[in-house]
Structure formats: C-alpha cells, structure tokens
Structure 1
C-alpha cells in the first residue's frame, strides 16, 4: 500500500521563498553595519594657551629702516663759448626809471583829461528831430510819416508762423528797437505770449531799412521806438 503526503504538510514547499527573504535580511544588516557612523558628543578644547599673563610686560621691538638717498644727477658744466675779437658785441642798455633833478615835473593843471562822450539816448516824444524813415524826407509831419511807413513795413513782411497756426497761438507782441546814431537798427527787445511769435516780430524788425538818425541840439543820438505787433488767427 503506497502512502500519500498531504501537500499542505510539505515542509519543502516554501523553502525557496524563505531562503530569498533570509538572504535579503542578511545583506541589509551587512550594509547597515558597514555604513554606520558615530560621532563624539562632547567637544573639549584646551584654551589655557590663549590666555595671556597680565604680569608679563612685553616690549615691542623698534625696527629702524635705513633708506638709501636717491642718486643725485651729475652736474653738467656750462659750456663757455669764446667770442672772436671780430664778432660784434651787442650791449643791452637798461634805462633807469628813477627821477633825477633834471626830470620835468608836471602839475595837475598841465594834464588834459579827455572825456569820452556818453552814449546819449533821447525819447521819441521829446527828441527835437525824429529819425526819418526812407521816403519821408519831404514830408512836413515826419512823425506821422514814420508811423505810417512802419505799419506798411510790418504788413509787407508779416508771415504767420506755421507752427503757431497749428498750435492756435495768437496775441500781441510788444517790441522796442533802437535807431543808432548812424541810422542802423540796434538792439531789438520783444515780449509776447509765445517764443514763436516773438521770433517772428524780431525777424520783421530786423528787415527795417537804414534811416536818417534823430538829432538833439544838432547832434545825432540814439532813439528808441516802441510798436506792438498783433498776431490774430482768422
């Protein structure tokens, strides 16, 4: 009669599994044992060598450094040129600035002081002979003719600046210019609402022709003249 074994009672059935698990466990323990590190917890240092004894006086040694003076440049002797007897000798004469008994002393009354005449500027209203605009020489009322010719000159040379038109700038520019003693146009002053309008007013006045200068007591003088220039958009 053949005996049959119960499969559940067989001890060799799971032997391979147990072998693998045991092998992994042994390898893990071996790895941990090899990689294990330990450190000392307490750190003790001997600091007695860092403390100085106050009773010990130390003398700081003094070092003296010897410096070598720089080498002096050799002195080159001055070359002496020997002049021949035939060479002409140029002598320099220095006149003394000190006075002697023969020096003539000038008195204050003998000295003439030249006074330069100051630049006279006479107002347009009070001047005796007003400047004459070209074309007004034969007119009786030269002031009225001057004003009329000024208006014609402004209308002829007037140009409204394009930039001022785009910006909508308008207003009155007060101007003043000087008619010099030779009839030329001198300093031009202007004041208005914008720089563009001021520049245009200055350009118009700079084109004024040369005039006959104004006179005060028969002498040509500077005469200021003021006139407003109005800029208005239509």
Structure 2
C-alpha cells in the first residue's frame, strides 16, 4: 500500500525553525517600537529679512609729501690765533731703562744676625678651663695647689651666683623657669669679658649675665708660664616652689 502523503512536502517538519524566526522578528519589532521617540514640534515663524546693500565710498589714499627740514644755520668759526715767540727752551726728559743686563754687577751684601730685628707678636691664645695648666686664681684661693685652686675656683663661682641671685619679677609673673647656660672669658689681665648666655627666655638670660658680670678681677690663667684667656661655663637654674 502506498502512502498518501509525500514526506518531502511535510508542513510540520520545520515548524520550530519558522516559530523561532517569527519570534525573533516580533521581538525586534517590539524593541524598535519601544525605542522609537517622538519630539514636540514647535511652531516657528520664519520672517523675511530684508537687507539693504550699503554703498561704501572708496576713499583714495593720498601720499602727502612733507617739505624738507630747513637747513641748519651757518656756524661762524672765529679763528683766534696768537703767535708766541719760541723763547722758552723745553728740557727733554730722558727715560732710563730699569732692566738689568749681564753687564751690571750685583754687590754682595753680608747681613749679620745681630742686624736683624725680630718683633715679638703677642698671640691671642684662648684655652678652655678644663685643659689649662694654671687655672685662674679667684680672690681668696691664693697659695693652694693646682687641684685645690681649681676646686676653690669652682666653689667661689657657685657662692657668687647664690649671693647675687635675684629672680626677675616679670619672669615670676609669667611663670618662666629653666636652666640658663652662661659662657664667659677671663682675659689675660684677669677681667671677665665676652659673657654669653642661652636659656628659655631673655629675662632669665639677662639676669644670668648680670650675675656673672659682677665677678671680681682674678689672677689670669697661665699656659706655659704666660697669661692667656680662659673660657669657663656655668649653669644657673631658675626655679621656685610655686611652679
């Protein structure tokens, strides 16, 4: 028995393919419809603009020829010639050469040692208190050994600071306290010079310099038997129980 339908012309064989193509076309159409935008059209009145042509007059360029400047006034040159008789004889200056030639003889001069004068120049030597051979002698420390003289000097400095110590009133009111380091110099004559200080405030520095400035004259320190400058540093503490 022969089949009634031709298998090559079966309609439902590619139905799924047709369905997918139709679905994609519908989705594409729907997407384009959703993305479609419309804009409000405004009524724009277009007027006719009438432009009149302006006539520009061409101005001819005229080159003005400036007249030449007037000639300068003639300069009158007056020649005043004075004839002077050649009555004064001029002496010519003879310039002698200062170059030495082989013909010139050099005199042999012998200088004795006794004829040479040697000037002694005093050196400004400065030695620290810690390495000085002979420390300065404070009044009241005479006749002691080197070690005792050094200890006596330091003790007298401390007593001097305590004796003349005065706390500045302005520093008390402002509550200023701290340590002031004072460096000074005992020159070759025993006077105190070159006082410098460093501390927390100018008020305390000024008071510390005043105390050191009251030091008396001492016997100068010596290095190799000669008086020299000696540098010394002393700390001064400014502190009271109220702070």
Query: 2:219 aligned with 1:209, yes or no?
Result: no
2:127 corresponds to which residue? 122
Residue-pair matches, total: 157
**Alpha-carbon distance in structure 2 between the residues aligned to 1:138 and 1:67:** 103
The residue correspondences of 1:24-173 to structure 2 (distance < 5 A) are 52-54=59-61, 56-64=62-70, 114=119, 116-140=121-145, 141-173=148-180
Instruction: Describe the shift of the 1:61–1:161 C-alpha distance in structure 2 as closer, same or farther (beyond 3 A).
Output: same
**Alpha-carbon distance in structure 2 between the residues aligned to 1:114 and 1:198:** 43
**Alpha-carbon distance in structure 2 between the residues aligned to 1:193 and 1:128:** 34
CA RMSD of aligned residues (A): 3.5
Cα offset, 1:128, TM superposition? 1.2
Cα offset, 1:125, TM superposition? 1.5
Moved over 6 A (4+): 104-111
The answer to whether the Cα contact below 8 Å between 1:129 and 1:214 also exists between their aligned partners in 2 is yes
1:188 corresponds to which residue? 195
- Return the TM-score normalized by structure 2: 0.55
Equivalent position SS for 2:210: helix
**Alpha-carbon distance in structure 1 between the residues aligned to 2:178 and 2:226:** 38
Equivalent position SS for 2:127: coil
**Alpha-carbon distance in structure 2 between the residues aligned to 1:107 and 1:188:** 53
Equivalent position SS for 1:122: strand
